[in-house]
Amino acid sequence: MLNQYLTNVFVLRNNLYNLHFNIKGEGASSFHVSLNNDINNINLFYDALAELIKKIGGYPIMNMEEINNISTIKQLSSKDYTTKEASNILINDLNLLNNMNHQVGEYALKKGDLDSINFVLNFDKYLSKAIWLLKMNK
């Protein structure tokens, strides 16, 4: 479960970069800056999740073919995106990740895994706020 979660964060990170470089139209400048902040945050959570997987005895999936096969968030094509398109894509992807975050949290709670619970709680703060901000700007 954690590796699928990791692959989803990886693909989201790449999608954020894609949108960051290819955002066009009204509001693109401020959206570009916002995406940069999201990239920085996601990079921190990606690293923390990979380290958590190692800490509990696993191996973070790093193979691109495996990442593409396991992730339920799909890679975006390189093309221009409007801020509205980008917002809709991100709301969907962040909601998917947030649902997965809650599933990981429930499992960690049953197992008494405090490290995973702390990760989930911290990531939930970011995800909830990011989703709220995107919906607010629609």
Helix axes 114-136, 28-55, angle to 10 degrees: 170
Q: Which residue has the tokens 């790449």?
A: 14
Reduce the DSSP state of residue 121 to 3 states and report it: helix
Q: What is the pTM of this model?
A: 0.93
- In a structure prediction context, what are the per-residue pLDDT tens digits for the chain, which is 138 residues long? 899 999 999 999 999 999 999 999 999 999 999 999 999 999 999 999 999 999 999 999 999 999 999 999 999 999 999 999 999 999 999 999 999 999 999 999 999 999 999 999 999 999 999 999 999 876
* Distances, alpha carbon 136 to alpha carbons 10, 15, 56, 76, 91, in Å: 25, 21, 38, 23, 11
Domain 2-136: CATH architecture, name and number where available? Up-down Bundle (1.20)
In 3D space, the residue among 6, 11, 31, 12 whose CA is nearest the CA of residue 85 turns out to be: 31
HSE at residue 45, side-chain half, CA atoms within 13 A, is 30
| Domain range list for the chain | 2-136
Q: What burial letters (b/e) apply to 124-138, b meaning 16+ CB within 10 Å? A: eebbeebbeebeeee
* 81 beta partners: 23
